[in-house]
Amino acid sequence: MRLWRCPLCSAELAAGVERPRLSCPACGAIGLWQPPVHRAASDIFASGAATPWSAKALAAETWEDEVEPITGLSYSSTSSFWIAVGPPGSAKTTTMARVAAAQSPEREVVLISGEMRVGPALTRMLRISGLGQRDNAIVQRQSSATTLVGHAARSAVIILDSLSCLQFTVSDCRAMADAGALVLAISQVRKDGRARGSNEFQHEAGIVVRFESDRAWTCTKSRWGDEGKTGHAMRRAIPKAVDNVVQLADVAEEAE
């Protein structure tokens, strides 16, 4: 079940995942039902902490993180190879998807997702990165290097998530980039903080972006002279007061 909203009178209807064909009981409109607009919590609370809010209204809101695009890095939008390195949950994939979504609308985007199965986590990443708004973006669990080189020949943007799951070689990634693709590869890290897999990937990449657990990033390598540039991939949109409640609840569960 999901909630649908009439764009004419804002009446709401709980129905299945397919757009309802029922007429709006309030205004009579037929077939105009829309899913509720996703809003960041910072927008909901923009009027200040003293404003009272309906608990029912807040419970119906969709709470989202806000993705900060990577800015200030010079790169070639074709024949280019990036690697995003960092621990799980550091927004590597979401940020690389944001980079892909920012490319020309005419470019095909191919996400090979060996890490995230089809489900809520993948859906959320596609939504908040903006990649889910593109008509020419596709998601696959696996693909061959030969097939991806074919996409690359059409100047596609290719996201590989992640190198350790998908078993592509350095030569495969280089072939995709040489064929005209913007290749955005994800690399997980070991417990000691080093990237998994061969160091040849980082040696071959034109840009290496290191992510930390707090979702801050640093450009550790750039063939365009941007080493040392930093930023923050994503910031929590949940208000501080609500965040504190969550933290206290976590502590209470651990104490039990």
| C-alpha count within 13 angstroms, C-beta hemisphere, residue 217 | 33
Q: Which two tokens stand for residue 173?
A: 């990634």
Q: Rounded to whole angstroms, what are the CA distances from 24 to 34, 142, 203?
A: 11, 43, 59
Instruction: Tell which residue, 203, 126, 120, has the closest CA to residue 161.
Output: 126
- Torsions phi, psi of 131, nearest 5? -65, -30
Q: Which residues contact 3 (CB under 8 A, 6 or more apart)?
A: 12, 13, 14, 35, 36, 60
Q: Is the pTM of this model over 0.95?
A: no
Instruction: Tell which residue, 168, 155, 152, 165, has the closest CA to residue 204.
Output: 168
For strands 80-85 and 182-187, give the pairing: parallel
Q: What angle do CA 13, 37, 100 make, to 5 degrees?
A: 135
Return per-residue pLDDT of the chain as tens, 256 residues.
Answer: 567 777 777 777 777 767 777 888 888 777 777 765 555 544 544 545 455 556 666 566 555 566 666 777 888 888 899 999 999 888 899 999 999 998 988 999 999 988 877 778 888 888 888 888 898 999 988 889 999 999 999 999 999 998 988 889 999 999 999 999 999 999 988 877 777 767 889 999 999 999 988 888 999 999 988 899 998 886 554 433 333 343 333 333 333 3
**135 neighbors 181 (Cβ within 8 angstroms):** no
Residues in the chain: 256
Beta bridge partners of 179: none
Long-range contacts of 187-190 (CB under 8 A, 24+ apart): 187/83, 187/84, 187/85, 187/162, 187/163, 188/86, 188/87, 188/88, 188/162, 188/164, 189/85, 189/86, 189/87
Rounded distance, CA 163 to CA 198, Å?
A: 10
Q: How many CB atoms lie within 10 A of CB 234?
A: 21
DSSP annotation of 30 reads B
**115 neighbors 162 (Cβ within 8 angstroms):** yes
**142 neighbors 94 (Cβ within 8 angstroms):** no
